[in-house]
């Protein structure tokens, strides 16, 4: 059984590292031993798992299925080991974290790097990208998401409240006037951030009722930072997280609008797959984030 696990782990490590040489360097094993383990595994299964060339390593169709299941199995075993040792040892091992790019670059990075200073036995694979990440398929330990909804297949823990701000440039307000009600935006230019829930249907709170206002405008982007810049340039009103809006409002390049109508309930959440044993490194990171953001509201 131990030999079987060694072969499976070698196969996963080789693909995760991008090749035999990289895996050998990263995990302190010889390239020849890793190659033998993978070959032995393929011979045992009776199928080729990897397509090997001098330039590229890829998975066959069977290899993709086996990799997905093997990764999950190894993660469960690692989590089980961690659940036993976490009580007496500090967090350790590779931690894969996903977060929105702008939030990660501007707000999360210093916080999470501070976590690594606190726990030097943890290594980090931080993936900053503005797309929906499948935690299970992509082997992500925890994802930071700004949302009001939680995927039922995941466990979510609230990290902090998030404020959403609608804003426009002073020049735009001088030219068009200040919107007094969300419905006013129907006839005004708006910048559409396609990452936002609802995209071009902006939601507001009017006397306790949710109001959905369809908006249009000259710019559609998939980046809240780009949406903010378009708003600063006077191309339209934009909706964005407060951590992006506040600096521009403070320096006068944007003016907040419709403040009494902005919806509440947006939160920064840490989401992770359903697992019986939550790895200590994940639990420690989430606790670290909760403590930090409670002292530094977004």
CA 22 to chain centre: 26
How far, in Å, CA of 60 to CA of 50, rounded? 6
**Which helix (H) or strand (E) covers residue 123, if one does?**
strand 122-128
Q: What angle do CA 38, 40, 44 make, to 5 degrees?
A: 115
What mean pLDDT comes out for the span 124-146? 84
Confidence label for 154 from pLDDT (cuts 50, 70 and 90):
confident
What mean pLDDT comes out for the span 267-286? 80
How far, in Å, CA of 148 to CA of 150, rounded? 7
Q: What is the DSSP annotation of 189-219?
A: EEEEETTSTTTTEEEEEETTEEEEEE-EEEE
Whether the predicted pLDDT of 133 surpasses 80 = no
Mean pLDDT, all residues of the chain: 86
CA 241 to chain centre: 16
Confidence label for 27 from pLDDT (cuts 50, 70 and 90):
confident
Q: Structure tokens of 24?
A: 């050998």
Q: Structure tokens of 36?
A: 């033998």
How far, in Å, CA of 120 to CA of 123, rounded? 8
How far, in Å, CA of 62 to CA of 111, rounded? 40
pLDDT at 226: 92
Whether the predicted pLDDT of 87 surpasses 70 = no
What is the three-class DSSP state of 16? Answer: helix
Confidence label for 265 from pLDDT (cuts 50, 70 and 90):
low
Question: What are the tens digits of pLDDT across the range 33-77?
Answer: 998 999 999 999 999 998 877 677 888 899 899 998 988 888 778
Q: Which comes out higher in pLDDT, residue 243 or 227?
A: 227
Contact, 135 vs 98, CB < 8 A? Answer: yes
pLDDT at 249: 96
What mean pLDDT comes out for the span 258-284? 81
What is the three-class DSSP state of 126? Answer: strand
pLDDT at 22: 85
């Amino acid at each position: 059984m131990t030999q079987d696990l060694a072969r499976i782990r070698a196969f996963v490590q080789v693909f995760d590292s991008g090749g035999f040489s990289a895996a050998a360097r990263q995990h302190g094993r010889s390239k020849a031993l890793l190659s033998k383990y993978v070959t032995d595994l393929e011979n045992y299964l009776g199928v080729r798992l990897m397509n090997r060339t001098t330039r590229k390593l890829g998975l066959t169709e069977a290899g993709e299925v086996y990799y997905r299941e093997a990764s999950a199995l190894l993660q469960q075993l690692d989590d089980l080991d961690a659940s036993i040792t976490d009580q007496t040892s500090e967090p350790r091992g590779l931690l894969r974290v996903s977060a929105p790019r702008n939030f990660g670059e501007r707000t999360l990075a210093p916080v999470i790097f501070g976590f690594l200073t606190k726990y030097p036995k943890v290594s980090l694979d931080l993936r900053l990208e503005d797309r929906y990440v499948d935690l299970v398929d992509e082997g992500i330990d925890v994802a930071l998401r700004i949302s009001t909804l939680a995927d039922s297949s995941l466990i979510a823990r609230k990290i902090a409240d998030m404020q959403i701000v609608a804003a426009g440039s002073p020049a735009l307000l001088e030219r068009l006037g200040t919107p007094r009600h969300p419905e006013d935006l129907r006839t005004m230019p708006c910048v559409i951030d396609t990452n936002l829930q609802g995209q071009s249907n902006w939601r507001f709170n009017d006397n306790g009722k949710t109001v959905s206002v369809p908006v249009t405008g000259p710019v559609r982007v998939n980046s809240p930072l780009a949406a903010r810049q378009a708003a600063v340039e006077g191309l339209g009103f934009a909706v964005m997280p407060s951590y992006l809006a506040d600096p521009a409002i403070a320096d006068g390049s944007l003016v907040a609008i419709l403040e009494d109508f902005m919806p509440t309930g947006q939160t920064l959440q840490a989401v992770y797959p359903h697992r019986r044993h939550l790895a200590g490194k994940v639990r420690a990171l989430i606790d670290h984030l909760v403590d930090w953001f409670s002292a530094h509201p977004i």
